[in-house]
């Protein structure tokens, strides 16, 4: 028993000695590490508009940068592909250590992304670009596969017993949105009708009128697959209420209004691609690539979704949405 106590005491002394030794040289080594990290500039350039969805992506990126002690340059382009491309090009010349970019219009940013690779900057895509990131020279993609998300939505609509779904596309140039509709068409046993409401986020009232007209013109439509939470609550649900409240609505992405609608039963589900994780992981993975030449993913995407939010789990999700992390 005495030997056991002595062994425990010796182990404790050893641990304390190591801790003290670490403390004695920690200030300088920590300062050196902090200075080295601060010199790393992670650049995240998206097509985002800073709204309900993209503000959460940005928060994730900012939180990761703060934890790592790196410099972050986060910029959105409000769906202006030319602006996004020029921002990436400026970043290559402006001291970015690594670049992450969303790719809803990959052709528009391809030259800029390949120029970043030619400059030996680690790059990845986030949010959109899961099927083209390798063509852009990126080592991985962080986000959800949009086709898979659509496929899962189609299965969910099957479970709800629907026959015909309207799929409004709010950004005509965003290939990821088309992928969602096409994915739903792969698994849904009924019909999926794509519908153009380009610019809906800038004009929800106008989008509501278009969707309402489409629903009135075809009474066989019994479901709507919204591809954005703000479009779902700001345009689709009002149109449905005006035409036929029995029409089932599901959406992609979360917002406080969407969660309230799920709780109220007017929105059947939301597909959560967990956009906070997209911003957070993008910064972390680019940091590892810069600091230690670690390329996470093994050449494959790093998926953040899809996950479903329904009336069954909505209360558990609401707190993290209010905290800005979902």
Structure-token pair, residue 320 = 């993290």
pLDDT of 323 reads 83
Residues 6+ apart with CB under 8 A from 297: 139, 140, 141, 285
Collapse the DSSP code of 39 into the 3-class scheme (helix H, G, I; strand E, B; otherwise coil) and give the result.
coil
CB 222 within 8 A of CB 245: no
- Would you state the CATH architecture of domain 40-144+275-304? 3-Layer(aba) Sandwich (3.40)
Rounded-to-integer distance, Cα 86 and Cα 253, Å: 28
Whether domain 146-272 has CATH 1.10.1660.10: the reply is: no
Query: Do the first three CATH levels of 40-144+275-304 and 146-272 match, i.e. the same topology?
Result: yes
pLDDT along the chain (326 residues), means of 10: 36 36 48 82 96 93 98 97 98 98 96 98 96 97 95 98 98 93 98 97 97 98 97 98 98 94 98 96 98 96 96 90 82
pLDDT of 105 reads 95
pTM attached to this predicted model: 0.79
pLDDT of 30 reads 62
Rounded-to-integer distance, Cα 256 and Cα 259, Å: 5
Q: Which residues are 143's β-sheet partners?
A: 303
Looking at residue 197, the DSSP 8-state letter turns out to be: -
CB 251 within 8 A of CB 227: yes
| Domain locations in the chain as residue ranges | 40-144+275-304, 146-272
Rg over alpha carbons for the chain, rounded to the nearest Å, is 24
Rounded-to-integer distance, Cα 199 and Cα 316, Å: 32
pLDDT of 135 reads 98
Rounded-to-integer distance, Cα 311 and Cα 316, Å: 10
| 210-219 contacts at long range (C-beta below 8 A, 24 or more positions apart) | 210/168, 211/166, 211/168, 211/235, 211/236, 211/239, 212/238, 212/239, 212/242, 212/243, 214/166, 215/166, 215/239, 215/240, 215/243, 215/244, 215/247, 216/243, 218/164, 218/193, 219/244
Rounded-to-integer distance, Cα 232 and Cα 214, Å: 15
Rounded-to-integer distance, Cα 239 and Cα 209, Å: 7
pLDDT of 25 reads 47
């Amino acid at each position: 028993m005495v030997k056991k106590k002595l062994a425990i005491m010796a182990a404790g002394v050893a641990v304390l000695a190591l801790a003290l030794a670490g403390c004695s040289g920690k200030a300088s080594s920590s300062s050196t590490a902090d200075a080295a990290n601060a010199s790393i500039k992670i650049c995240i350039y998206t097509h985002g508009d800073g709204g309900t969805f993209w503000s959460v992506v940005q928060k994730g990126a900012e939180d990761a940068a703060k934890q790592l002690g790196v410099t972050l340059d986060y910029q959105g382009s409000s769906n202006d592909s030319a602006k996004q491309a020029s921002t990436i090009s400026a970043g290559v010349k402006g001291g970015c250590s690594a670049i992450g970019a969303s790719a809803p219009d990959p052709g528009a940013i391809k030259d800029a992304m390949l120029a970043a690779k030619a400059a030996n900057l680690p790059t990845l895509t986030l949010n959109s670009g899961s099927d083209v990131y390798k063509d852009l020279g990126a080592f991985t993609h962080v986000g959800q596969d949009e086709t898979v998300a659509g496929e899962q939505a189609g299965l969910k609509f099957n479970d709800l017993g629907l026959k015909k779904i309207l799929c409004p596309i709010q950004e005509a140039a965003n290939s990821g949105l088309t992928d969602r509709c096409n994915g739903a068409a792969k698994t849904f046993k009924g019909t999926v009708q794509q519908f153009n409401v380009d610019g809906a986020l800038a004009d929800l009232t106008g989008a509501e009128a278009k969707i309402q007209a489409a629903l009135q013109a075809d009474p066989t439509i019994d479901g709507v697959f919204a591809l954005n939470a703000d479009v779902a609550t700001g345009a689709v649900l009002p149109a449905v209420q005006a035409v036929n409240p029995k029409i089932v609505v599901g959406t992609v992405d979360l917002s406080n209004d969407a969660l309230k609608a799920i709780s109220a039963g007017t929105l059947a589900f939301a597909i959560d691609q967990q956009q906070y994780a997209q911003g957070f992981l993008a910064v972390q993975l680019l940091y590892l690539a810069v600091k230690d030449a670690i390329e996470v993913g093994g050449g494959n995407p790093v998926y953040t979704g899809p996950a479903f939010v329904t009336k069954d789990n909505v209360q558990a999700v609401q707190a993290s949405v209010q905290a800005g992390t979902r």
